[in-house]
């Protein structure tokens, strides 16, 4: 008698049968979970004035509400990926989704800014357990051309999900449904999370984890400490005038990451399981891609925050109007993602990752001159729509291609570690972007020069885009052929070796 079948009614994959019948529902659930994370990373951008009025949040408190979530998310993602390898991705996905939904409720009922920040840190930790399982579950249930289609859908949807957050947040705050105000931006996760949990529990198939996988808690502790030492001074430095402790923290963070790399090599050399699979770091497409993700998302998320702050604080837009001000960026991103995914990425390879930032730079230049011509009395969001839309098109081209290009270098047995590392770098890069761009903007906003603050942020973004463009030349010209991406070539090689024996 199979006891586990009685305890858990979810289907078990049959390796001798064809593709799993309900696999496309798995894609839907994964996209919903990822969008919940992306919404929560950006939806509170428009809640600044409401948080200030309701909870007394200052500029540093707002940066922690936004950046603190990304901090704990990024710090825990690598560990989350390895926990999925050991205990099973379905189990960790359900645990993470339950915790994330619960943390969203806690954020919604937070009585003060300190508790909201604490609950946001908890929410990020839950997200770190949830998100790394998505790529692994997709790789377990899709293969060949279907997997290519999955990533073609996955990339643009996620890119648009992150950009649309402020639009939805503005609508919810402006509508002030049931007098909830900013709290509704967290409560929206409850029905979504509960529905996703029900579908996932029923339709995501069970697959046992590998209990021989050892979870490197020493490495996990080093990552968490190094991330905290990096983001803490970036969030507090501008407010406190960059005292000595901020520089000491940054130096300690650099040393911590170096120590982590050394510890991972020694762990692997000793025959134990490191957090990061050693083979990943020997692949140029993966290691260079990590730097590209940090630069790109740091600039994108930081600039998006500054746009929202400029509209709300500088131009006194309501939350709803500020959210709509992000709509041209969302539309541009959708257009760029569609063009890249449907026509360019497979045909021109890495060139799409070079064309995209050039278009973004062009949009930033247009936006700079649009800001220069602004009149405070007659300002309308239409005055800056062309620059924002062009920048969005460039961003969408990069988002649609970047992850699929990097993941082409990843073997099937590395997906747990790879997805955790990629998501961690994206989250930490976004957290750094919030801290840096927020500091640049508020340095000018305190003297009432909001336009100059926005323009200085555009200069920072321009520097990051140039750096991103430079490192794309270190990437392979094309991703690996499709059959190699999905392990077919490796399996054929293994079969040949067995035949020879």
Burial 164-178 (b: 16+ CB within 10 A, else e): bbbbbbbbbbbeeee
List the one residue out of 169, 133, 160, 129 whose CA is nearest residue 45.
Answer: 169
Give the per-residue pLDDT at 444. 86
Tokens at residue 390, please? 């062009």
Q: State whether 46 and 102 are in the same domain.
A: yes
Q: State whether 76 and 224 are in the same domain.
A: no
Residue 420: half-sphere exposure toward Cβ, Cα within 13 Å: 30
Give the per-residue pLDDT at 376. 56
396-418 pLDDT, tens per residue?
888 767 776 777 777 766 766 77
Length of the chain, please? 501
Give the per-residue pLDDT at 162. 62
Tokens at residue 16, please? 């001798």
Among the three residues 274, 295, 317, which one is the final residue of a domain in this structure? 274
Give the per-residue pLDDT at 106. 95
Q: State whether 460 and 401 are in the same domain.
A: yes
Spatial contact of 189 and 100, defined as CB atoms under 8 Å apart: yes
Give the per-residue pLDDT at 4. 39
Spatial contact of 282 and 414, defined as CB atoms under 8 Å apart: no
Is residue 11 situated within a structural domain? no
Q: 55 vs 488, which has greater pLDDT? A: 55
Is residue 200 situated within a structural domain? yes
Q: Which residue has the tokens 């995501």?
A: 204
- Pairwise CA distance, residues 322 & 81, whole Å: 36
Tokens at residue 422, please? 């990629």
| pTM of the predicted structure, to 2 decimals | 0.74
List the one residue out of 265, 280, 263 whose CA is nearest residue 421.
Answer: 280
Q: State whether 152 and 248 are in the same domain.
A: no
- Pairwise CA distance, residues 238 & 251, whole Å: 17
Mean pLDDT of 470-487: 64
Among the three residues 274, 299, 320, which one is the final residue of a domain in this structure? 274
419-463 pLDDT, tens per residue?
778 777 887 788 788 778 888 888 888 888 888 999 999 999 999
Give the per-residue pLDDT at 236. 72
List the one residue out of 162, 211, 179, 197 whose CA is nearest residue 392.
Answer: 162
Q: State whether 175 and 222 are in the same domain.
A: no
pLDDT at 13 over 60: no
Is residue 80 situated within a structural domain? yes
Give the per-residue pLDDT at 265. 84
pLDDT at 52 over 50: yes
Residue 421: half-sphere exposure toward Cβ, Cα within 13 Å: 24
Is residue 15 situated within a structural domain? no
63-120 pLDDT, tens per residue?
788 778 877 887 788 788 778 878 888 889 899 999 999 999 999 999 988 899 999 9
Is residue 3 situated within a structural domain? no
Tokens at residue 175, please? 């509508």
- Pairwise CA distance, residues 337 & 345, whole Å: 10
Q: 299 vs 445, which has greater pLDDT? A: 299
- Lowest mean pLDDT across 151-165, 219-233, 305-319, 456-470: 151-165
Mean pLDDT of the chain: 78
Is residue 496 situated within a structural domain? no
Q: State whether 63 and 177 are in the same domain.
A: yes
Give the per-residue pLDDT at 19. 65
Among the three residues 254, 274, 294, which one is the final residue of a domain in this structure? 274
Q: State whether 160 and 120 are in the same domain.
A: yes
Indicate the number of domains in the chain: 2
Give the per-residue pLDDT at 482. 46
25-40 pLDDT, tens per residue?
888 888 888 778 777 7
Give the per-residue pLDDT at 137. 80
pLDDT at 274 over 70: yes
111-149 pLDDT, tens per residue?
988 899 999 999 989 988 888 787 778 777 776 667 666
List the one residue out of 464, 494, 128 whose CA is nearest residue 298.
Answer: 464
Task: Domain of residue 115: give its range.
Answer: 20-205+275-490
Give the per-residue pLDDT at 344. 63
CA angle 236, 169, 164 (to 5 degrees): 95
Q: State whether 103 and 240 are in the same domain.
A: no
Q: Which residue has the tokens 């060949």?
A: 144
Q: State whether 462 and 358 are in the same domain.
A: yes
Q: State whether 102 and 170 are in the same domain.
A: yes
Gap between the terminal Cα atoms of the chain: 38
Give the per-residue pLDDT at 362. 95
Q: 319 vs 469, which has greater pLDDT? A: 469
Give the per-residue pLDDT at 219. 86
- Lowest mean pLDDT across 157-161, 221-225, 473-477: 157-161
Q: 465 vs 324, which has greater pLDDT? A: 465
Give the per-residue pLDDT at 159. 59
323-354 pLDDT, tens per residue?
778 788 878 887 887 777 655 656 676 788 88
Q: State whether 267 and 358 are in the same domain.
A: no
Is residue 10 situated within a structural domain? no
Domain CATH code at residue 437: 1.20.1250.20
All residues at 6 or more sequence positions from 100 whose CB lies less than 8 Å from its CB, including other chains = 33, 36, 37, 123, 126, 127, 130, 189, 193
- Pairwise CA distance, residues 299 & 296, whole Å: 5
Q: 324 vs 310, which has greater pLDDT? A: 310
């Amino acid at each position: 008698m199979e006891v586990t079948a009685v305890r858990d009614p979810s289907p078990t994959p049959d390796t001798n049968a064809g593709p799993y019948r309900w696999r496309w529902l798995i894609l839907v659930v994964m996209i919903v979970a990822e969008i919940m994370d992306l919404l929560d990373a950006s939806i509170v951008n428009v809640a600044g004035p409401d948080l200030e009025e309701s909870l007394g949040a200052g500029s540093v408190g707002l940066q922690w509400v936004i950046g603190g979530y990304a901090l704990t998310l990024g710090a825990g993602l690598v560990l989350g990926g390895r926990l999925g390898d050991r205990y099973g991705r379905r189990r960790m996905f359900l645990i993470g989704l339950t915790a994330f939904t619960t943390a969203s409720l806690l954020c919604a009922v937070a009585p003060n800014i300190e508790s909201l920040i604490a609950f946001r840190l908890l929410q990020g930790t839950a997200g770190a357990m949830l998100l790394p399982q998505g790529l692994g579950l997709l790789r377990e249930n899709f293969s060949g051309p279907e997997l290519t289609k999955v990533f073609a859908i996955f990339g643009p949807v996620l890119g648009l999900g992150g950009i649309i957050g402020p639009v939805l947040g503005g609508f919810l705050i402006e509508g002030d449904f049931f007098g909830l105000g900013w709290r509704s931006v967290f409560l929206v996760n409850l029905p979504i999370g509960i529905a996703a949990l029900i579908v996932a529990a029923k339709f995501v198939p069970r697959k046992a984890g590998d209990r021989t996988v050892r979870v490197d808690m020493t490495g996990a502790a080093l990552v968490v400490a190094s991330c905290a030492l990096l983001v803490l001074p970036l969030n507090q430095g501008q407010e406190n005038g960059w005292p000595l402790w901020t520089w000491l923290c940054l130096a300690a963070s650099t040393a911590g990451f170096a120590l982590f790399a050394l510890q991972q090599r020694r762990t692997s050399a000793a025959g134990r399981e490191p957090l990061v699979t050693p083979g990943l770091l020997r692949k140029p497409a993966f290691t260079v891609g990590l730097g590209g993700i940090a630069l790109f998302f740091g600039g994108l998320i930081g600039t998006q925050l500054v746009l929202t702050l400029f509209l709300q604080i500088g131009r006194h837009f309501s939350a709803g109007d500020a959210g709509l001000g992000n709509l041209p960026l969302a539309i541009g991103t959708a257009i760029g993602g569609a063009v890249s995914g449907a026509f360019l990425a497979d045909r021109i390879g890495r060139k799409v990752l070079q064309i995209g930032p050039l278009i973004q730079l062009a949009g930033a230049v247009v936006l700079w001159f649009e800001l220069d011509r602004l009149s405070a009395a007659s300002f309308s969001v239409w005055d800056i729509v062309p620059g924002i839309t062009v920048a969005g098109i460039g961003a969408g081209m990069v988002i649609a291609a970047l992850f699929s290009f990097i993941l082409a270098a990843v073997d099937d047995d590395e997906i747990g570690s790879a997805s955790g590392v990629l998501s961690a770098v994206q989250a930490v890069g976004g957290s750094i972007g919030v801290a840096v761009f927020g500091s640049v903007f508020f340095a000018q906003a305190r003297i009432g020069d909001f336009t100059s603050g926005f323009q200085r942020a555009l200069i920072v973004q321009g520097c990051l885009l140039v750096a991103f463009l430079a490192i794309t030349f270190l990437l392979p010209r094309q991703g690996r052929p499709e059959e190699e991406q999905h392990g077919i070539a490796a399996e054929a090689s293994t079969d040949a070796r067995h035949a020879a024996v």
